[in-house]
Amino acid sequence: MIFVLVYAKIWYTHVYVFLWGRPYRQNHMREAWMGSDGSNKEGMTGLHRVCLAVSWIVVFVIAAVFLVGQCVFKHNEFRGGRMGYLDGEWTYESTQGKTGTTTLPARLDLDLGEGVTFKTTLPDDIRDGMYLCLSVGKNMRVYIDGNLRMSHDFSDSELPGRVVKNAFFTLEISSLDRGKTIEIVRDEPGAFNRYLYEVRYGELYSIYSDLKKEYLFKFLMSTILFLDGVLVCIGVAILNIVFKVTNEPLKYLGFGTIAVSVWLITDSYMYSLFFENTYVDGVVSYMVAPIMAIPFFLYMNEIMEHRYENVCTMSMASLLLIDVVTTILHFTDIMSYGLTRPISNAMIGLTAIMLFVTIIKDHILGYSKKYKWIEVGILVMIVCTAIELLEVNLHIMTLNGLFLIIGLYFLLGTALVHSVRELIKTENERKSVIEANRVKSTFLANMSHEIRTPINSIMGMNEMILRENKDPDIAEYADHIKRSGKLLLSIIGEVLDLSKIEAGKLDIKSNPYNTANFIAETIGFLSEHAAEKGLEVKLDIEEEIPAVMEGDENHIKQILINLITNACKYTHEGQIGLRMYAEKSDELSAKERIFAFEVSDTGIGIKRENLGKLFDSFTRLDEKKNSGIQGTGLGLNIVKSLVEAMHGKVEVSSSYGIGSVFSVRIPQTVISEEPIEDSWRTLVTVDKQESYTATFTAPEAKILVVDDNASNLMIIRQLLKETKINIELADNGDEAIDLATTRRFDLFLLDHMMPHPDGLTVLKTIRANEHGINYRTPAIVLTANAVGNSRDEYLKYGFDDYLSKPVDGLSLEQMVMKYLPKNKIVQGDNGSKDADASNASATGTTGEAIANEQATKASEGSYDANFSKVAKMFGDENFALEVMNKVATDTLKHLDKMKSDLMIERYDDYVICAHAIKGMMASVYQEGLRARAKEHESAGKDGRYDYIKADFESFCRDCTDFCNIVLERKRD
Ligand code: ADP
């Protein structure tokens, strides 16, 4: 009653809170349903705790009731029936006259082939519908009171060889058989007939339940083991196929588990209850027995890291041999499995001992610490196998694989623990490798910055010495400094390249490039290096190479530079050969070609045994012979990584002392099929150290250079001195921002790493104001930070280009010339052609685009000339100024629109803008820009989008330059 009242109270309070959401007297009641924030993180109420505790008690009581019922008070009306054993005294008489009495199980001392008759009296409690159940493994006849009631002749089996395993057979008996004499005759020729294990009698269902009690548990455990093995194998296959991870040990463990479970299942007496053929199980279990140990040897071989592979191989060979030989003997009926069993078991035992010895040796040597769980598992498994073997051979007890099952489960458990620990360890190692790599990359980035900054000063100042000095001795010293500086930079470059490759940051780009230019530059590099060592150059450039191809020109160049540098480095006399050709391949589409290069030399060559390690990182060969040659052993490793990243191949053939040939084959897409013939010849230039003359002058141009390092500012100013450009210097970001808001510049050169604000912030601030006077001024970043995909990163930030420190005089000039308004540049006599050529290849424009760009330059008059033409046409200078101003503002707007159209590939709109610009440029007599706008318009209409993509940047820049001049004039 009290219980009912308390229960009702609890429910009333809770339902109240649930329905009305407000507390019933006590505040905390609401929290029983819901926490103050809608959750219930506050903790459990007392009632909640009580409920949990009671739930557990109920669970335990249920389990206890079930177990006590099953194990102590057995009571099953459903089974009913009776069952007993003919376990009284039996008499026997053999064909050789041996007689006596025995009880079951009987194992008489008979010879091979000697027959025997067992006799006893049937009990009085036999009822109608009962059966005799005999475990039979040989030919047998059963007589009751002299009448033959059952006969088995195993020669009826479909398999060759004898039957080797006992199975249960039944014989119907009735109350009429009470007290009669039963005779069991076993007389199979050439076999041991001495066993009679057991004879049961009773109702069929009782016999079946009794058998189940004895054998089903082990049978089920074996079946579960089989499924475990299959699951492990499926898991390993999924890991392999989906995640490309191989786990050899686990694979072998899976196979081993399947093999042992197959043996256990086929060896079980429950087998005939579930399978269709009573004769195959014995043969299968005998065949599986020796080889089931093999996967475990392979498993241990993997775990022991192949330390005892010979022992493993010998064990495998012995087990296979015994399996094959005993099977042949059995099937040919020369010797049945039953007779060869002791030999097979001895071999299994012997190999198990060998495995045991290796584990003990590993233990003594301390290797087993790495797999201590498996060590315990495998030792238990070996002990269990030994017990099982003893039982099978000596019949001490009836185990029927129980110990094997225990051992195998134990081993699987320990292997699981081992695998989980290994996984955790690998994961931790992976994390620490990633962390170490991150630390390494950061270190390299910092080191690069720290080393490049002072080298920048050294090289810059040295360049000044070279330019201004007239003394030949000092020129020689300065030249040495220049060479050593370059070498140091190339070493830093290689280390950084390698770290980029290792960090997976190698970014392969695909842009159209002019092959003649590419070839000319490569040959220029080769000629210069070969000349330094007095080596001859032999060229073989195929005329059919397509004029424009698409691929990563810069990385291919890097590969060739590496190979050519090596060829020159390791050749003391003779010649360096360069062969280039393009060929079709069945594996490529019609639009693709293999671009192939061969760099050959008559140098020191490479020993055959060293060819294999040639491409390993930090590997230098023949160190003694090469001791005077500088190198890091990284070049070829980088070459290989680059070639493979571009889906190409690199090969080497070499004769020691005679020379080497490095061949590279890289697939590229053809943009223009037109053959280059020998057009590259006119483009080849060799970079010689001559007395310096500026490639151009631009006295009207204004540049702002920003760097916190005073010597860098000085170097840039000095390097550009001869160009007569007006250079404004700022040694911090704030000053740069102030200058940029008040004065218009044609170009910014901004250092990245400055105390706040850094170069990125300065550019962001300038570009934040769309109406600012320098909103469209191009900006080049100067940086010593050469790690990662720096260039792309900077372009993303809005920089127009990138110059790596230490800045080289010629590159700086060319870069500045590229971005200054064209009409402010006065071409110098020297080097203008070079600059154009390298400009073209640097921007990756096609031959057509290059031609157009040059046409623009040629046709552009000075601003004044154009203006006077426009003024003449309108007859009024002010109006002409208005018109040009309007054209400039509208053109800039159209260019912005074209840029966004191009980004989303909306070519219809792109064509409309190009058309508009064409008209506007015609109206202000800008013939070059008009022609280029027209070309863009027709390219858009004809679907020549590659042309648009390749030329847009340069077209946009030239138009912008023109517009900026117009707008600036207006302001002035
Ligand atoms: P290194 O900086 O040492 O030149 P590389 O990776 O470029 O590093 O080359 C690795 C090694 O291969 C060199 O140390 C050299 O022994 C050998 N090697 C490379 N190219 C040649 C060549 N053309 N002739 C002979 N040996 C070469």
Give 895-963 as a DSSP string.
HHHHHHHHHTT-HHHHHHHHHHHHHHHHHTT-HHHHHHHHHHHHHHHHT-HHHHHHHHHHHHHHHHHHH
Q: One-letter amino acid identity for 684?
A: V
Q: How far apart are CA 683 and CA 498, in angstroms?
A: 32
Q: Which atom of ligand 1 is nearest to the CA of 603?
A: 24
Q: How far apart are CA 109 and CA 103, in angstroms?
A: 14
Residue nearest atom 18 in ligand 1 by C-alpha distance: 566
Cβ of 636 below 6 Å from ligand 1:
yes
Average pLDDT per block of 10 residues along the chain, 972 residues long: 68 63 49 47 71 91 89 69 87 92 88 91 91 85 93 78 80 92 90 86 88 85 91 90 83 91 86 81 88 90 90 93 94 86 88 89 90 88 83 65 81 85 86 83 72 79 82 81 80 75 76 88 87 89 92 89 92 93 90 94 90 76 67 83 92 93 95 86 60 74 87 80 88 90 91 83 88 88 65 81 78 87 70 37 38 42 62 63 80 88 86 82 77 86 86 87 78 56
Handedness of CA 161, 162, 166, 167 (dihedral sign): positive
Longest dimension (CA), the chain: 147
Cβ of 571 below 6 Å from ligand 1:
no
Task: Count Cα atoms within 13 angstroms, Cβ side, for 462.
Answer: 21
Tell me which of 558, 572, 624, 636 to substitute to probe ligand 1's pocket, judged by most ligand atoms within 8 Å of the beta carbon.
636
Cβ of 604 below 6 Å from ligand 1:
yes
Cβ of 566 below 6 Å from ligand 1:
yes
CA 17 to centroid of ligand 1, rounded, Å: 84
Q: Which residues contact 176 (CB under 8 A, 6 or more apart)?
A: none
CA 331 to centroid of ligand 1, rounded, Å: 64
Whether residue 660 contacts residue 606, with contact meaning beta carbons closer than 8 Å, is answered with yes
Cβ of 639 below 6 Å from ligand 1:
no
Question: H or E stretch including 3?
Answer: helix 2-20
Tell me which of 620, 630, 638, 663 to substitute to probe ligand 1's pocket, judged by most ligand atoms within 8 Å of the beta carbon.
620
Q: Is the pTM of this model over 0.85?
A: no
Q: How far apart are CA 617 and CA 637, in angstroms?
A: 5
Strands 167-173 and 130-136: antiparallel
Whether residue 847 contacts residue 548, with contact meaning beta carbons closer than 8 Å, is answered with yes
Q: Which atom of ligand 1 is nearest to the CA of 662?
A: 23
Tell me which of 614, 638, 658 to substitute to probe ligand 1's pocket, judged by most ligand atoms within 8 Å of the beta carbon.
614
Question: H or E stretch including 570?
Answer: none
Tell me which of 491, 495, 497, 566 to substitute to probe ligand 1's pocket, judged by most ligand atoms within 8 Å of the beta carbon.
566
Q: Which atom of ligand 1 is nearest to the CA of 659?
A: 24
Cβ of 526 below 6 Å from ligand 1:
no
Q: How far apart are CA 303 and CA 375, in angstroms?
A: 10
Q: Which atom of ligand 1 is nearest to the CA of 637?
A: 6
Q: Which residues contact 375 (CB under 8 A, 6 or more apart)?
A: 359, 362, 363, 368
Tokens of 367: 């290797």
Tell me which of 533, 564, 570 to substitute to probe ligand 1's pocket, judged by most ligand atoms within 8 Å of the beta carbon.
570
Q: How far apart are CA 635 and CA 558, in angstroms?
A: 10
CA 606 to centroid of ligand 1, rounded, Å: 9
Residue nearest atom 2 in ligand 1 by C-alpha distance: 631
CA 658 to centroid of ligand 1, rounded, Å: 15
CA 667 to centroid of ligand 1, rounded, Å: 25
Residue nearest atom 17 in ligand 1 by C-alpha distance: 621
Cβ of 570 below 6 Å from ligand 1:
yes
Residue nearest atom 14 in ligand 1 by C-alpha distance: 620
Cβ of 606 below 6 Å from ligand 1:
yes
Cβ of 635 below 6 Å from ligand 1:
yes
CA 535 to centroid of ligand 1, rounded, Å: 18
Cβ of 660 below 6 Å from ligand 1:
yes
Cβ of 541 below 6 Å from ligand 1:
no
Q: Which atom of ligand 1 is nearest to the CA of 615?
A: 6
- The reported pLDDT for the residue numbered 624 is 67
Q: How far apart are CA 320 and CA 328, in angstroms?
A: 12
Tokens of 14: 């809770």
Task: Count Cα atoms within 13 angstroms, Cβ side, for 926.
Answer: 28
CA 620 to centroid of ligand 1, rounded, Å: 6
Residue nearest atom 20 in ligand 1 by C-alpha distance: 566
Whether residue 661 contacts residue 652, with contact meaning beta carbons closer than 8 Å, is answered with yes
Question: H or E stretch including 560?
Answer: helix 553-569
Cβ of 603 below 6 Å from ligand 1:
yes
